[in-house]
Amino acid sequence: MKTIRIKMLAASATLSFLLAPLGVQAQDETPVERIDFKGGKVLVVREGKSAPLEADIALAGDIKVTTNGTFTVKGGKERKLREGQMLSADGTLLSPDGSIIPVFDHVTMKNGKVTVVKDGEAAVANRETRLGDGSRVMPDGTLVTKEGKTTKILDGQIFKLDGSALPAQDTITLKDGKVMVQKDGSLLQVQPRQSIMMSDGTKVFGDGSVILKDGKKLTLTEGQTLVVEGVTKR
């Protein structure tokens, strides 16, 4: 599965196509871009080239990946990579269907419900969730800061359990001839004669064509995934 990541450059308003952000230095001093699980094998990708993972490896954020296809985050529960998944060095896990999630423990709003994710397992919150910075997330999606200020969390917004915000990401995927988008935390199919506007202004059509925020047009190829900026607080 080909993946293109779109990020806004700090110095300009143009969009650039990038692979997943670089991670920690490996023993051979070549930065790790991501870990792929393909054909039942664990592959490490460096400078766009993949090779079998020959020894367990550590990524940023205390992520450890083993040669047998499992990984842990900060010594937590062991998780198994599934066929076609890609774990980027920034701790983002991308699946073949286009779903994308951070592997770190976090709180997010999904389909109007506060969801707490720990060691990869999600549960809807039925009581307040206290974060490390003293803020609290209420079951109705209200974020109360330690100073007492309140704000509503939007669908797709993500916070680490320490209270820091994680950048939300959406995806656009062509799989088995179907256009799938993950928007605001939900996975949707764009029907052939429909279109949908992504949070960053990218327009996606059900025939696989895409108009980026800057007006550039492209057509998805089978198995291709675009990663774009997700919801931001308005």
pLDDT tens digit string along 8-46? Answer: 333 333 333 333 333 443 345 689 999 999 999 999 999
pLDDT at position 204 over 80: yes
Residue whose entry in the numeric block shows the structure tokens 């073949």: 96
What would the mean pLDDT of 50-54 be, rounded to a whole number?
96
Q: What is the DSSP string of 108-123?
A: EEETTEEEEEETTEEE
Query: In this structure, is residue 130 part of a structural domain?
Result: yes
Query: In this structure, is residue 112 part of a structural domain?
Result: yes
Q: Are strands 41-46 and 70-73 parallel, antiparallel or unpaired?
A: unpaired
Domains: count for the chain: 1
Query: In this structure, is residue 149 part of a structural domain?
Result: yes
pLDDT at position 103 over 90: yes
What is the separation of C-alpha 58 from the centre of its chain, rounded to a whole number of angstroms?
19
pTM (2 d.p.): 0.80
Of 190, 194, 193, residue with least CA distance to 179 = 190
Report the pLDDT value the prediction gives residue 6, as an integer from 0 to 100. Answer: 45
For residue 13, what are its two tokens? 């308003």
Q: How confident is the model at residue 3 (pLDDT cuts 50, 70, 90)?
A: low
Query: In this structure, is residue 177 part of a structural domain?
Result: no
Query: In this structure, is residue 53 part of a structural domain?
Result: no
Domain that residue 119 falls in: 106-166
Of 91, 95, 111, 76, residue with least CA distance to 38 = 95
Contacts of 80 (CB under 8 A, 6+ apart): 69, 70
Contacts of 153 (CB under 8 A, 6+ apart): 109, 114, 137, 141, 142, 143, 159
pLDDT at position 99 over 60: yes
R_g over Cα of the chain: 18
Total residue count of the chain as it appears in this document: 234
Query: In this structure, is residue 230 part of a structural domain?
Result: no
What is the separation of C-alpha 101 from the centre of its chain, rounded to a whole number of angstroms?
4
Query: In this structure, is residue 30 part of a structural domain?
Result: no
**C-alpha to C-alpha distance for 120 and 101, rounded to whole angstroms:** 9
For residue 40, what are its two tokens? 């039942």
Query: In this structure, is residue 110 part of a structural domain?
Result: yes
What would the mean pLDDT of 194-223 be, rounded to a whole number?
96
Cα distance between the two ends of the chain: 33
